[in-house]
A and B are shown apart, each in its own frame.
Chain A
């Protein structure tokens, strides 16, 4: 049975097309979801893509959090549905309190757009089980508000519980605390990542094929879930 992964489009989303394409290249069926439609159409996982939802009005992700689709996504995420937030999607997950912390203006105030090395710090999430611990990967980063901040107890907790999923390597592009590029929730099904795995899935356009690992991981997670008799999706 083909795995169906939903990709949400908000007004101002940019990378929904690339995310859907990456899902297809990884061997799953991409299902386009609309911000105004609370129905997840039976998908097995959801991706919140990059971009500038609602023009980044107020704060990045602050308005998108209240989109009709997000209420359903939040409920399903709490029920175990694999959810990946990329860039703006990561910001939305933080605003929706599905992930701790917040993403603030890059410390140097410049929009940063380059290929970026990351070091995978946790392979026990729904989206990173196909990587090796400490594996270095190269994927594009492109953000103006990518500086991850949280209070010290939260940062300590993330570290102690192995919930830092990836760290910036060979240079921190935005000033993120403890070089955090990606984190996960307690259950490991919700992951937010600032750089863009969906832009590193083809040799023609990407700096590597390293991004495919995130989508392949979700397929593996969902295959394992259905083999174990568990419903793959939250709905």
Chain B
């Protein structure tokens, strides 16, 4: 089993009201030196066999991200060996 990770982020020019709301809450934590927060989405795709980056790119392009407002990056993710 192999995993591909897709990160979807709003394009820089698109306003991110959720990120702004988080940024506005930071002073309540005593944090005052953050200038911006942007919120995106991480999607993990598990392939039954070997990771197919081309297929993952197609999935990301057609469904996971809306190219009008979002950019995406994909990468193969070697799962950390977990203790059996």
Interface residues of A (CB under 8 A from B): 58-59, 62, 66, 94-95, 100-102, 104-109, 149-151, 175
Is B66 in contact with A151, judged by CB distance below 8 angstroms? no
Is A102 in contact with B69, judged by CB distance below 8 angstroms? yes
Q: Which among A59, A105, A175 is the interface contact of B18 at CB below 8 angstroms?
A: A105
Bound form: Cα–Cα A94–B69 in Å = 11
Is B68 in contact with A58, judged by CB distance below 8 angstroms? no
Is A109 in contact with B66, judged by CB distance below 8 angstroms? no
Q: Which among A58, A100, A108, A109 is the interface contact of B64 at CB below 8 angstroms?
A: A58
- Of the four ranges (under 10, 10 to 19, 20 to 34, 35 or more), the interface on chain B belongs to 10 to 19
Q: Which among A59, A66, A106, A175 is the interface contact of B66 at CB below 8 angstroms?
A: A59
A-B contact pairs, 12 of them (CB 8 A): A58-B63, A62-B63, A95-B66, A104-B14, A105-B17, A105-B18, A106-B17, A107-B15, A109-B21, A149-B69, A150-B68, A175-B17
Interface residues of B (CB under 8 A from A): 13-15, 17-18, 21, 63-64, 66, 68-69
Bound form: Cα–Cα A42–B68 in Å = 33
Bound form: Cα–Cα A149–B14 in Å = 8
Is B18 in contact with A109, judged by CB distance below 8 angstroms? yes
With a cutoff of 8 Å between Cβ atoms, the chain A residues found around residue B15 in the complex are 104, 107, 149, 175
Is B68 in contact with A108, judged by CB distance below 8 angstroms? no
Q: Please name 7 further chain A to chain B contacts, defined as beta carbons within 8 Å, in addition to the given A106-B17, A107-B15, A149-B68, sorted by A numbering.
A: A59-B66, A102-B66, A102-B69, A104-B14, A104-B69, A105-B17, A109-B18
Is B17 in contact with A151, judged by CB distance below 8 angstroms? no
In this complex, what residue of B is CB-closest to A106? B17
